[in-house]
Amino acid sequence: DSGVTQTPKHLITATGQRVTLRCSPRSGDLSVYWYQQSLDQGLQFLIQYYNGEERAKGNILERFSAQQFPDLHSELNLSSLELGDSALYFCASSVDLWAGNYNEQFFGPGTRLTVL
Amino acid sequence: GIQVEQSPPDLILQEGANSTLRCNFSDSVNNLQWFHQNPWGQLINLFYIPSGTKQNGRLSATTVATERYSLLYISSSQTTDSGVYFCAVATNAGGTSYGKLTFGQGTILTVHP
């Protein structure tokens, strides 16, 4: 158990719908990262939050958004879902005490999203 | 961005055999991690090893940062070692990576009894 929790574990929805994925980082970790794993693209970085603020963006679609709350949990919102959004979505957390302090990232169990 | 290449893409072993997985990366890194993705999809941390050598039971890893590669050694393999092994790196080349990991395509390991 990495200490990172994600809910739900599985999500099945229809095209055009909107879903919210939730992540709770390890106790004391300030950084939250979101990654997407799909068959054709592999594991890709989406977005990072540090202590409530967006810090870095990767290949995240405009239909996707995220936020980190004062208690440091994070949510990834996916809207206008398409078949191609079906993937495993991971959240990871790390201590990252200051900019440039890159620490080991620990991954949650993932949310498997299926868009029908 | 940084490129990460893993080899071999597939590896089939008999239980008890040893193996070496390789990860090459194209730029200097400040984070390198090895993961095992089990058949249920979980990503399990194996090593955090931006440089040097570490050992954990039957597994060990070495990263030679100056030559931009890392090796994962698995000794006396077991069927439970099956799965996908990923190498992932973070770089601050350009100054704005903020720790995001770039993953290789993985090595699919199958261990037969």
Residue numbers in B near A44 (CB within 8 A): 103
Place of tokens 């054709």: A40
B95 has a pLDDT exceeding 90: no
The answer to whether B92 and B50 have CB atoms below 8 angstroms apart is no
Encode pLDDT of A49-67 as tens digits. Answer: 999 999 889 989 999 999 9
Encode pLDDT of B53-82 as tens digits. Answer: 999 999 999 999 999 999 999 999 999 999
User: Shortest CB distance from B33 goes to which of A96, A105, A110?
Assistant: A105
The answer to whether A18 and A80 have CB atoms below 8 angstroms apart is yes
Does A88 contact chain B (CB < 8 Å)? yes
A70 has a pLDDT exceeding 90: yes
How far is Cα B49 from Cα B81, in angstroms, rounded to an integer?
20
SS (H, E, C) chain A: CCCCEEECCEEEECCCCCEEEEEECCCCCCEEEEEEEECCCEEEEEEEEECCEEEEECCCCCCEEEEECCCCCEEEEECCCCHHHCEEEEEEEECCCCCCCCCCCEECCCEEEEEC
For chain B, which residues lie within 8 Å of any Cβ of chain A, measuring from their own Cβ? 30-31, 33, 35, 41-43, 45, 48, 86, 88, 90, 92, 96-103, 105-106
pLDDT band of B96, cuts 50, 70, 90: low
The answer to whether B89 and A39 have CB atoms below 8 angstroms apart is no
B94 has a pLDDT exceeding 70: no
The answer to whether A44 and A90 have CB atoms below 8 angstroms apart is no
In this predicted structure, what is the pLDDT of residue A17? 98
In this predicted structure, what is the pLDDT of residue B22? 98
pLDDT band of A72, cuts 50, 70, 90: very high
The answer to whether B106 and B7 have CB atoms below 8 angstroms apart is no
Does A43 contact chain B (CB < 8 Å)? yes
* Interchain contact, B100 vs A33, CB within 8 Å: yes
Q: In Å, how far from its chain's centre is CA A11?
A: 14
* Interchain contact, B99 vs A106, CB within 8 Å: no
How far is Cα A3 from Cα A12, in angstroms, rounded to an integer?
25
The answer to whether B19 and B110 have CB atoms below 8 angstroms apart is no
Nearest to B3, CA basis, from B83, B104, B93, B77: B104
The answer to whether B71 and B20 have CB atoms below 8 angstroms apart is yes
Give me the residues paired with residue B31 across strands. B90
CA–CA distances in Å: residue A116 to residues A10, A17, A86, A89, A113: 13, 10, 9, 17, 10
* Interchain contact, B98 vs A45, CB within 8 Å: no
Encode pLDDT of A20-35 as tens digits. Answer: 999 999 998 999 999 9
